[in-house]
Structure 1
Amino acid sequence: MFKAKIFIFIACLTFATFANAMTIYDSHITNFEEEQLLVKEFPSNYIFETITDCSNDNDILVIENIFISPDPPRRGENVYINASGYLKKTVGFGSYVDLTVKLGLIKLLHQKLDLCEQVEKVDKSCPLEEGEQYLETTVTLPKEIPFGKYTVEAYVYTADEERITCLKANVMFKP
């Protein structure tokens, strides 16, 4: 049961990474003082600018829009995710997510996850056809997530080792 909750947490961080990668760069913060005010609004569980979209122009997935609420996500709460993007080509069976999760310097998880199995959890199915893609879901973060700084790295590949996308996240949950 706890392993399932940890996976939900990881999945949410993956989605949050997409979302924050877009919202950080599209935000209306114009100077350091405004950034510090934002950080003070979320002192219990947020480090500003912790999300990195490490994808590039050669990747198959182009993320167009992502919205999550609340942003940042909080332990024990529902996280609403609405996202859209464009697949440059069909992504099929054999695609996978190379996922690493660390708590501080300790590696909690390094796993190769079947992408098709993961997309079924959000009511999608393989193959994911070339073109516009939409995602709308709600994920509950378990309140049992231990406090600490989490680092999540997700590299997504096709069966032929062509990169679909890449993302990294650093999330701090404080007492």
Structure 2
Amino acid sequence: MKFFGAICLLSCFPYFISASSWFSASKFNPVDEDLTVQGNKIPGANPASYCSDWDRESDHVTIDYINLLPNPPKAGKNLTIQGQVDVGTTVLNGSYVEIVVKYGFVPIVRERLDICEQAYELADVECPVEAGVIKKEATISLPWAIPPGRYYVVAKAYNANDEQLTCVSATVSFSHFGFQLIDQD
């Protein structure tokens, strides 16, 4: 479940952060200095974009950047996620994210996750998360046994009143199971 938690962390980054301890007005991005938004692409070293069929005018969250180290993620390795967001509304208990993960074209996960529970489990952050500019870094271990192939992810986040917060989509490819064959010569 950590893999899908990582996807949730990537897509719902703003809610996993304690604004009071991580508040920063700086827009400095240590990995990717080009923070210009190109189309729906989320700035930074990541495969994520805002959802194309989503009305961003109603969003309560703007993602300044998200960096994945390494990018692309590697099975069996640590994944560090760095990011900064502008949260326009306090995120309360009851906020949630609807995640759909497809392996190729086959849906393998269709789940509704509590944002506050995920925030506490993955980043030791408790709700409510106050509005403001938030900057955070988190590292998780990805499992070795991630089947090779393309994963298509859509994460739609809503507050406790069912108002949209943001929607993020990404395509992540894994080329092997994360283990190597060793020559026995």
Name the TM tier (shorter chain): 0.7 to 0.9
3-state SS, counterpart of residue 71 of structure 1 = coil
Q: Which residue matches 1:41?
A: none
Normalising by structure 2, report the TM-score. Answer: 0.70
- Contact 2:12–2:97 (Cα < 8 Å) also in 1: no
Deviations 1:33-59 (CA, angstroms, capped at 9, x unpaired): xxxxxxxxxxxxxxxx95322262321
CA distance in 1, matches of 2:94, 2:10: 24
Hey, what does 1:95 align to over in structure 2? 95
Equivalent positions of 1:74-153 (< 5 A) are 74-121=74-121, 122-153=123-154
Structure with greater helix share of residues: 1
- Contact 1:17/1:52 (<8 A) preserved: no
Distance 1:14 1:167 in 2: 10
Give the 5 Å matches for 1:53-64: 53-54=50-51, 56-64=56-64
- Structure 2 counterpart of 1:13, which letter? I
Q: Deviation at 1:110? A: 0.6
Question: What is the one-letter code of the residue matched to 1:104?
Answer: G
Residue by residue, what CA displacement relative to the aligned partner does 1:7-58 show, whole Å, maximum 9, x if unpaired? 2112323445689xx9899489xxxxxxxxxxxxxxxxxxxx9532226232
Residues 14 and 152, structure 1, Cα contact 8 Å, conserved in 2: no
Q: For each residue in 1:46-82, what CA deviation from the matched residue of structure 2 results, as whole angstroms up to 9, or x when unmatched?
A: xxx9532226232111112322211111111101112
Partner of 1:51: 48
Query: Which residue identity lines up with residue 146 of structure 1 in the other structure?
Result: P
Q: Which runs of 5+ in 1 are unaligned?
A: 1-6, 29-48
Q: Indicate if the aligned counterparts of 2:12 and 2:157 stay in contact, CA closer than 8 A.
A: no
Gaps of 5+ in 2: 14-28, 37-45, 177-185
- TM-score of the superposition, structure 1-length normalised? 0.73
Aligned CA-pair RMSD? 2.7
1:72 and 2:66 matched: no
CA distance, structure 2, for counterparts of residue 129 and residue 27 of structure 1: 24
- Alpha-carbon distance in 1 for matches of 2:142, 2:155: 18
Q: Distance in 1 between matches of 2:153 and 2:61?
A: 19
SS at match of 1:57: helix
Q: Take 1:125 and 1:118, find their aligned partners in 2: how far apart are those partners?
A: 10
Taking the aligned partners of 1:133 and 1:27, their CA distance within structure 2 comes to: 16
Partners of 2:141 and 2:95 lie apart in 1 by 26
- Tell me: CA distance 1:148–1:117, structure 2 relative to 1, closer, same or farther (3 Å): same
Identity of aligned residues (%): 33
Which amino acid is the alignment partner of residue 76 of structure 1? G
